[in-house]
Amino acid sequence: MISHNFIGNNFLKGELTLVGDCPSIGKTSFIISLAISMDEVCRSVRD
């Protein structure tokens, strides 16, 4: 999982972040892992 610090320091509210690289590097896996981690962070903040 991606840490809360990584998310907080690299993805700011209102910013558009693009992820690009060569084929078969793991972009989709990274984005899915990021989405799951961000969901967990948001749920812990709301509770």
pLDDT value at position 47? 60
Can you list the pairs that 35-44 forms with residues at least 24 positions away whose Cβ atoms lie under 8 Å? Answer: 36/1, 37/1, 37/2, 37/3, 37/4, 37/7, 38/7, 38/11, 40/1, 41/4, 41/7
Residues 8-41: pLDDT tens digits? 788 788 888 888 889 999 999 988 998 898 888 7
Q: Which residue has the tokens 């892992």?
A: 33
pLDDT value at position 18? 87
Amino acid occupying residue 21? D
Q: What is the DSSP string of 9-41?
A: HH--TT-------STTSSHHHHHHHHHHHHHHH
Please state the pTM of the whole predicted model.
0.67
